[in-house]
A and B are shown apart, each in its own frame.
Chain A
Amino acid sequence: DIVMTQSPDSLAVSLGERATINCKSSQSVLYSSTNKNYLTWYQQKPGQPPKLLIYWASTRESGVPDRFSGSGSGTDFTLTISSLQAEDVAVYYCQQYYSTPYTFGQGTKLEIK
């Protein structure tokens, strides 16, 4: 199984500042034949289902504000929120869909400082 490890577990950032969340996979999720990283980022607010933010490691889902961006390849990935807004308070998960079982990171709780 591919183990997904996020860091940090929690993060407090001031409004308008940058937030960075890291995700590391235990093996590469880059599929050579497509040259795509099978990695997504989800946002989950309290009492709500997860919401897709980023897929293929760096493609923003339609309707997601452009302050959210994803980067990385192979085994190391980053979700960046360029200017934190109050509505971004949530838990963020990375997930690999390279191979079953499709595993999630443990989550990173993002709060306002």
Chain B
Amino acid sequence: QVQLVESGGGVVQPGRSLRLSCAASGFAFSTYAMHWVRQAPGKGLEWVAVISSDGSNIYYADSVKGQFTISRDNSKNTLYLQMNSLRAEDTAVYYCARDPDAHYGSGPMDVWGQGTTVTVSS
């Protein structure tokens, strides 16, 4: 079945780095754009970044631009989010989501993972 499984979350000190992964299965990963969306505790959804199917188009939220890097390895059916210089306000559940608009990721997010929790705390 179609599935996205995030991993890599945990507790990290402010200023440190973390890399999240999202393993895809059950569909042709290389033909979909992919997003990261986060949700701070008790808060709403915040879009973080999108990458096109071939990695040629990438966009970020202003809140993470220059701090986070989205990437993908289509040979491994895996999406990544490299998070540097982490701050308390980056504490959230991070979800990856699939987008059928392969070229620009300008489509509905039709499949979501269960999320991985990142806690930034000293």
**A contact residues vs B (CB 8 Å cutoff):** 1, 38, 40, 42, 44, 48-52, 55-56, 61, 91, 93, 95, 97-98, 100-107
Contact = CB atoms under 8 A, between A and B. Distances in A.
Nearest to A56: B108
Interface of B: 35, 37, 44-47, 50, 59-62, 95, 106-110, 112-115
B96 to A, nearest CB: 10
A46 B63 CA distance: 26
B33 to A, nearest CB: 11
A101 B35 CA distance: 11
A72 B8 CA distance: 40
B112 A55 contact: no
Contact of B112 (A49, A102, A107): A49
Given A102-B47, A104-B47, A97 B108 contact: yes
Contacts, number: 58
Nearest to A102: B47
Closest 3 CB pairs of A and B: A55-B108, A49-B112, A100-B59
B112 A50 contact: yes
A41 B106 CA distance: 15
B44 A97 contact: no
Nearest to B35: A102
Contacts of B44: 91, 93, 104-107
